[in-house]
A and B are shown apart, each in its own frame.
Chain A
Amino acid sequence: MEDLALHVIDLIDNSLAAGATRIAVRVEERPGADRLLVQIADNGHGMDPETLARALDPFFTTKPGKPVGMGLALFAQAARESGGGLEVESSLGGGTTLRAVFGLSHPDRKPLGDISGTIGLLQQAHPQVAFVFDHTIVEEEPNEAQTRRS
């Protein structure tokens, strides 16, 4: 995957497969903390604890007929390689929220790419789904207690 926009397509495909009718993508740049947050929240069917525990395993998938499930694992790897990481929150019936943190100025951090244009394409292909996109640059120092949720 060349840029984060391509990862976002992949993760939105997961949300669509989970029957989501609302998919919100949030990009937040925090230059003060040298952090970039990419969050994807959907209202799909979510995952049970067993599935969630294996969600980042590239050799685990819930889709029939294939032995691998690379999408989430590659996204987590992209975050790790830039000095960040990925958190996944999910419950059956409660949707899924992915929260990836990247090192904003890290040399191995992939470029964002055209995320808004990419979501525009997906919105055209899936008009029954409400896509929300938001890109902000937060100048002040972040409050860790507020940004970290468990």
Chain B
Amino acid sequence: MKLKPEDLDKIRQRMKSTSSLREGAGKARVNVHLGTCGIASGAREILKAFLDAKAEAGAQDVLITTSGCAGLCNKEPMATIELAGEAPVKYIELTPEKVRRIFKEHVLGGRAVAEYALALGSERIS
């Protein structure tokens, strides 16, 4: 993808139109962890996969953002998904294929994909 300087401005204006959702009215919030560890293990493709899935579904009420290291570097790439009124779910060792399923079943469908989630025991460092 080759972007011209004015393209960034267009993206900003387009995404700003969803700014009301950023103040808490959205249905779901996806946070892709972009720490050094996440980036080195492929988080850019994960962010792209979430943005593509959102665009494909036309899901205006889903907020996709990024933050730093989630603290489990050996489980990266990771993303945290929060649906309005529910506990956040952390997903580990993501791939673009897993992202597409998580977006469909959890973000849009409301059912967490347990097999990709951070579960009891998987937080061990070894």
Chain A interface residues (CB < 8 Å from chain B): 1, 5-6, 9-10, 13, 16-17, 63, 65-66, 70-71, 74, 114, 116-128, 130-134
Contacts and interface: CB of A to CB of B under 8 A. Distances in A.
B34 A9 contact: yes
B34 A13 contact: yes
Category for how many chain B residues contact A? 20 to 34
B2 A117 contact: yes
B3 interface: yes
A125 B36 contact: no
Interface string B1-28: 1110101100110111011001000000
27 contacts: A1-B40, A6-B40, A6-B44, A9-B34, A9-B39, A65-B71, A66-B69, A116-B1, A117-B3, A120-B3, A120-B7, A123-B8, A124-B11, A124-B64, A125-B47, A125-B51, A125-B64, A126-B65, A126-B66, A127-B12, A128-B16, A128-B19, A130-B8, A130-B12, A131-B12, A132-B5, A133-B5
A22 B1 CA distance: 22
Contacts of B68: 13, 17, 63
A130 B68 CA distance: 19
A127 B34 contact: no
B36 A70 contact: yes
Contacts of B51: 121, 124-125
B102 interface: no
A119 B36 contact: no
Contacts of A131: 8, 12
A114 B5 contact: no
A120 B8 contact: yes
B1 A117 contact: yes
Given A1-B39, A127-B12, 5 more contacts: A71-B35, A116-B1, A117-B3, A125-B65, A128-B19
A123 B36 contact: no
B2 A116 contact: yes
B11 A120 contact: yes
Contacts of B81: none
